[in-house]
Amino acid sequence: MTKVDVLLGLQWGDEGKGKVVDVLTPDYDVVARFQGGPNAGHTLEFDGRKYVLRSIPSGIFQGGKINIIGNGVVIDPILFKEEAVNLAESGHDIVNQLYISKKAHLIMPTHRILDAANEQAKGTGKIGTTGKGIGPAYTDKISRNGLRIGDLLHDFDKKYAAAKLRHENMLRAMNYPYNIAEIEKDWFSALEYLKKFQLIDSEHVVNHFLEDGKKILAEGAQGTMLDVDFGSYPYVTSSNTVCAGCCTGLGVAPRNIGEVYGIFKAYCTRVGGGPFPTEQKNDVGDLMCSRGNEYGSVTGRKRRCGWIDLVALRYAIMIDGVTKLIMMKSDVLDTFDTIRACVAYRINGEEVTRFPFEVADVEIEPIYTEIDGWKTDMGNMKSEDEFPEEFNAYLSFLEEELGVPIVIVSVGPDREQTIVR
């Protein structure tokens, strides 16, 4: 029996997971997404084209591979249809390659409106959601009021009407104006399109593949520091983005988890509100943003940028059980004279190396170590033999601090700009 390898982000998302999944997919038979919704944009660039995936696994570009949207994912039929149609028009075999779990939950039109209403009610304490209805959909799931893909096959109209009425009562209580007539029409049309795909009991299918010796790569969305339990709460997403989320999001037993690939940027970014100890609200952050094109692939929002945070990274590696590290966007730091890395926090005068519970409530002063920059354009490098001495020193420093080998280094956005060590 084979095991499921897991690939996930170790920071606040946007680490470049889609590109790495695409690079690793040739070694696997199946790629499965296990959590999150269409707020997660995985950007891939190859053959002179740019693709943005929201819900469909990034293995879809490698012909002949099975891709599964697992039970832990929430799906907006409208956005799913838009994504799938774009892929089909660009020549990818979507219908035969993509399976969808019957236990995946649906994002309703009223979920989007509730998302906006909840953010407005928070006032200055906004989380900074993408407004895609993710939080309200997961709220319904946990409160046992959700609609699932499998409900399309069992008295769906009645279930939908009851769920919609419940949401409308909530919106009226909040005095929030809304009109869903147009979006609801598109939503039902998209549901019919979704029915063209293979709707499966994914937990049985995944475990059957394992028993059959198939190699499976599980693809996470967002990042560990956005996990609803272990992230910078309440400035987090609504699902479990950590490795354990693969078990609940695909129906995989813990003993069947194999390698855990943890992806991180050579620096750090986050979108929306919440704590960011190493954020650089200055020319350094602006340069990282411009060189890294740090704008959300789904929202277009400018990302906050800062130096790498090893306190948070060590924490993520511990929670996820990471066995191999992958560093992205190394080239963004090519022009810096000095690279800084946060090795500890100072909180109320005390130096700490553990990621704290009260991260969102206290002032954190990052304690930095400085490393010489490499001042070399690495975008055209094809092997680690070409790496500058200073860059190798940065890699060695990170491996020593984190205790896990860095096995892949990305030096640009293209599929070809990926170096295996």
Q: What is the 3-state composition of the chain as percent helix, strand, coil, each rounded to the nearest 5?
A: 40, 25, 40
User: Sorting pLDDT into bands at 50, 70 and 90, what band is 298?
Assistant: low
Q: What is the pLDDT of residue 402?
A: 98
Which structure tokens are listed for 292? 């890294």
The active-site residue out of 5, 42, 115, 309 is 42
Per-chain mean pLDDT for the chain: 92
Rounded to whole angstroms, the Cα distance separating 411 from 378 reads: 6
Chain center to CA of 40: 5
Instruction: Give 179-224 pLDDT, tens digit per residue.
Output: 888 889 999 999 999 999 999 999 999 999 999 999 999 999 999 9
Q: What is the pLDDT of residue 127?
A: 59
Rounded to whole angstroms, the Cα distance separating 113 from 123 reads: 16
Residue 259, judged by CB atoms within 10 A of its CB (0-12, 13-18, 19+), counts as: middle
Instruction: Give 118-168 pLDDT, tens digit per residue.
Output: 888 766 655 556 678 999 999 999 999 999 999 999 999 999 999 999 999
Which structure tokens are listed for 270? 């986050």
The active-site residue out of 5, 14, 331, 334 is 14
Q: Is 105 marked active-site?
A: no
Q: What is the pLDDT of residue 299?
A: 67
Greater confidence (291 vs 127) lies with: 291
Q: Is 309 marked active-site?
A: no
Rounded to whole angstroms, the Cα distance separating 61 from 51 reads: 10
Rounded to whole angstroms, the Cα distance separating 194 from 184 reads: 15
Greater confidence (39 vs 3) lies with: 3
Classified as helix, coil or strand, 153 is helix
Q: What percent of the chain has pLDDT over 70?
A: 95
Of the candidates 140, 133, 134, which has an alpha carbon nearest to the alpha carbon of residue 112?
Answer: 133
b/e burial code for range 323-353 (CB count within 10 A of at least 16 → b): bbbbbbbbbbbbebeebbbbbbbebeeeeee
Q: Kindly report the pTM of this predicted structure.
A: 0.92
Rounded to whole angstroms, the Cα distance separating 98 from 107 reads: 19
Greater confidence (365 vs 273) lies with: 365
Rounded to whole angstroms, the Cα distance separating 14 from 3 reads: 26
End-to-end, the C-alpha distance of the chain in Å comes to 28
Are 44 and 301 in contact by the 8 Å Cβ rule? The answer is no
Q: What is the pLDDT of residue 232?
A: 94
Mean pLDDT of 253-269: 97
Are 266 and 329 in contact by the 8 Å Cβ rule? The answer is yes
Are 246 and 218 in contact by the 8 Å Cβ rule? The answer is yes
